Structures are given as structure tokens and as C-alpha cells.
């Protein structure tokens, strides 16, 4: 068998197709390296490892003519809200999103100290409400002021609630085994105060108390399983209602 003649450099180098960007559920970037197949074989990265400023989603090595090869590595940029890790045959995806919650306007920290005044004002007649006044225990008219007045004006405009945002931390574990073998203890800590994995808390700004709010296992289309766990952050979870895991 004749020895192939290689024209140009046979050292590992970037191929002309490098730089492809694909936008789907997440944005990924492809890096393609060309060189001798034997040299590239030792450079195939593990899934979840760091490569060229991103996290490896997949890697593919193809043999081409003359003992050469193409290594295609697909990465998710480190700035993504997801982080992928591997544990044996399992792929673990960590992600965080901010969930929108609606609360009564009088639960706002600026207005909650004046709830009793606002309720007396709301329970008064049309004249006192229009004048932003309420009757005290002695029957005297008292004018609302400051934050209490601000709350009353919002209520007159029909504003009954306001929005707050809380982090929801999610871990999705993809396992090639069926759910019966791959997933155990589903739901064990739901409704309890418990911290999510540190890889999730490290992705969230600020300090939060955590409650496990979801845990489900499903059979994936490839015959394996996916387990999705979620934790919701808040300033505080009342320990008379929720116990520690």
C-alpha cells in the first residue's frame, strides 16, 4: 500500500468550517480542528469539560483521507444560564431562571406597616375615601399621609398587586437507564426547606432560603430517563409551615 502524500501542514490546526453557531434551546458554537487522525484522537474532550471558552456539549472525530481527520467540538458558551456536567453515563444540566410572583399590594414592605389605617380608610364612606381620610377609634377624621397615602392612591387606581421575582433552580439528570432503575426517592424532600446543589446556588446572585418545589421522573424518548428537580428561593420560608429536610 502506497504512503499518502500530504499537501500542506499535517499539524493539528483550525479547519475553515470552524465558527458555526447554532441557536436552538440553547446557543452552541462549533470548533473544527484538522490534523493527523492519531494526533486528534488524544485530543477528544469529555462532555461537560471546558474547551475554547465554553462547556463541551458533544465531540465528533472523523477519519478522512491520507490518515487525516476532523475533530468537531460543540460547546455552549460559559455565559449561558445552563451548566452541563457528567457523572459516568449520566448528563446533568443545571439551570436557573427568575420566576414572576404576584403579591397583594399591602404586602409590599413600604405599605405593610399601614395596613390597619388603609383598611379603616377602605371601610369608610365615600366622602372620607375621596378625602383620603379615615375615622379613628374616637370618631375623629385622620388624614392618610406618607406611604399610607401612596398605597391608598394606588388602590383607587385599581392596583391591587405588585410583582416580585424569585429564583427557580433546576437540575435535570439524563440517564440511559429506565426510570425504575435510574430514579429513586422521587418526591422525598418536596415541600421541605433544603438547599439545592452548590453548582446551582453558585449561579444565583444574592442570598436565598430554598424550598424544594418539584421532583419528577419521566421515561425519555431514547428509552432512558430524565429526572427534573426544582428548588424555589425566597427571603424566608416560615418554619411553622415548612420543615427542614
Query: At which residue does the C-alpha cell 449561579 appear?
Result: 203
% of the chain beyond a pLDDT of 70 = 85
Q: What is the pLDDT of residue 1?
A: 46
pTM of the model: 0.60
Quote the pLDDT of residue 168. 94
Domain boundaries, the chain: 13-78, 83-101+163-234, 105-161
10-residue stretch averages of pLDDT, the chain, 245 residues long: 54 55 62 90 84 83 88 75 67 89 94 96 92 90 96 95 93 87 88 95 92 93 88 94 94
- CB contact set of 148 (below 8 Å; sequence gap of 6+): 111, 114, 117, 118, 121
CB distance 180 to 143 below 8 Å: no
Amino acid at each position: 500500500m502506497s504512503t499518502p502524500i500530504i499537501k500542506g501542514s499535517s499539524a493539528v490546526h483550525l479547519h475553515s468550517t470552524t465558527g458555526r453557531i447554532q441557536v436552538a434551546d440553547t446557543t452552541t458554537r462549533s470548533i473544527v480542528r484538522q490534523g493527523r487522525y492519531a494526533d486528534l484522537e488524544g485530543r477528544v474532550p469529555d462532555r461537560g469539560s471546558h474547551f475554547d471558552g465554553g462547556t463541551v456539549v458533544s465531540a465528533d472525530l472523523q477519519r478522512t483521507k491520507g490518515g487525516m481527520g476532523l475533530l468537531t467540538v460543540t460547546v455552549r458558551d460559559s455565559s449561558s444560564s445552563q451548566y452541563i456536567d457528567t457523572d459516568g453515563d449520566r448528563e446533568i444540566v443545571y439551570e436557573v431562571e427568575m420566576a414572576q410572583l404576584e403579591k397583594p399590594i399591602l404586602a409590599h414592605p413600604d405599605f405593610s406597616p399601614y395596613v390597619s389605617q388603609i383598611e379603616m380608610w377602605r371601610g369608610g364612606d365615600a366622602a372620607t375615601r375621596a378625602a383620603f381620610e379615615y375615622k379613628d377609634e374616637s370618631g375623629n377624621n385622620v388624614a392618610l399621609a406618607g406611604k399610607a397615602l401612596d398605597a391608598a392612591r394606588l388602590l383607587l387606581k385599581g392596583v391591587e398587586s405588585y410583582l416580585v421575582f424569585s429564583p427557580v433552580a433546576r437540575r435535570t439528570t439524563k440517564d440511559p437507564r429506565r426510570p425504575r432503575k435510574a430514579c429513586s426517592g422521587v418526591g422525598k424532600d418536596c415541600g421541605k426547606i433544603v438547599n439545592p446543589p452548590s453548582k446551582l446556588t453558585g449561579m444565583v446572585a444574592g442570598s436565598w432560603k430554598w424550598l424544594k418545589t418539584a421532583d419528577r421522573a419521566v421515561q425519555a424518548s431514547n428509552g432512558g430517563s430524565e429526572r427534573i428537580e426544582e428548588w424555589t428561593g425566597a427571603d424566608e420560608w416560615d418554619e411553622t409551615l415548612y420543615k427542614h429536610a
